[in-house]
Amino acid sequence: MADILRKELQAAFGSEALTPAIAKEMLCKLGLKEDCAAMMVQEACPGSSMTVPEFVNYFFQGVGGMDKAKLASLAASLPVSRDLTNTDETMQVLAIASDILASNMSIEECKKLTFGSETEKPAPPVLVSAVAAAESKLLLRNSPPHHMVCVFAMYGEKNRIRTKAEHQNGQDFLCTKVKQLEWLFAGEKDKTWEIVAVDDGCPDNSKDLAQQAVEKNKLKNVTILDLRNAYKEKIPFFVERGLDEACKKSRKGGAILYGLHYASCSKPHFPTGKPRLVMYTDSDLSTDMALCGLLSDGILTKGKCMAMGARYGSEGTFLVKPPDCGAAPHPQSHYEQPNM
């Protein structure tokens, strides 16, 4: 397909010197919207003396299904916002990330083309997420052997744990987290993972709903805990800190600590010499589990004692502003959210 497009463009525009107008027209023929084409032209050849063939080759660099032209075409075709209740959209992130990894495009080049700048808007959130996931998997691939335990608390998750077909706010978050981790760790025989989901005294039976999802979908590597068991078992750490039977004095903090306690005390099902990393996150899909490779890299490759992801205040973070404002780069606080 790429070769056909190359020949069509070169036949239509010849070998003459390139102008911004010609470059923009060529990209529009590839299916890009005018504003996206203009952005790519500005990035590629501001004041350059490229010829048409050189420009065509620039945008068709890459093998394995991804190049600059396809990346730009994707940016033009994807929705400007992000719907976390749309499972197909979430899986599309992983599919695009796989295409990026199969190509010879550098991650830094992809970030340059999609993350935006002071003068350019970022690409659609699905594409931005895919580039980040690709970077994460690449970093995990280069990390030494380890086991990762992913902990999150569940309270009032009776809707988001369901599918979109079952509830309008359903994210099917347990199945999706598993799929994201399966994708991230695929092909890594010496690197393993598990999920520990902790019910923190939820009156809506989050624990039973989670267990039903595990059984119905035959999910592997998932453990469901109940914080109330810490009270029943009279675990000193929790009793000394006033945990009550209903867990009303604890909630999320206690659930995360119980998950950490479980992770530290449970017998590992992998060689004892392998490092065990424990991370925690929210139960919903606001954080993509496919990004966990960034955390592994921070500790095991860069030698840090702790690795953290933040939604605000650092480069590489984005705030999606629905319904049609797209990804806002580098938000500084949660007050930038539309509902604040």
Nearest Cα neighbor of 21 from 1, 37, 4 is 37
With 90 as the cut, is the pLDDT of residue 51 above it?
no
Q: Compute the average pLDDT of residues 184-188.
A: 95
Whole-number mean pLDDT of the chain?
82
Residue 161 has pLDDT above 60, yes or no: yes
Position 224 scores a pLDDT of 96
* pLDDT given at position 122: 87
- Tell me what pLDDT residue 115 has: 87
What is the structure's pLDDT at 40?
Answer: 59
pLDDT higher than 80, residue 37 = no
Per-residue pLDDT of 229-257, as tens digits, reads 998 999 999 988 888 888 877 778 889 99
Which of 181-195, 246-260, 263-277, 298-312 reaches the highest mean pLDDT? 181-195
Rounded to an integer, the average pLDDT of 121-143 is 94
Backbone angles phi, psi at 327, to 5 degrees: -95, 120
pLDDT of the residue at 340: 42
Residue 83 is predicted with a pLDDT of 86
> Comparing C-alpha atoms, which of 163, 246, 159 is closest to residue 202?
246
pLDDT score for 282: 92
Q: State the pLDDT at residue 213.
A: 94
With cut-offs at 50, 70 and 90, classify the pLDDT of residue 17. Answer: low
What is residue 327's predicted lDDT score, i.e. its pLDDT? 76
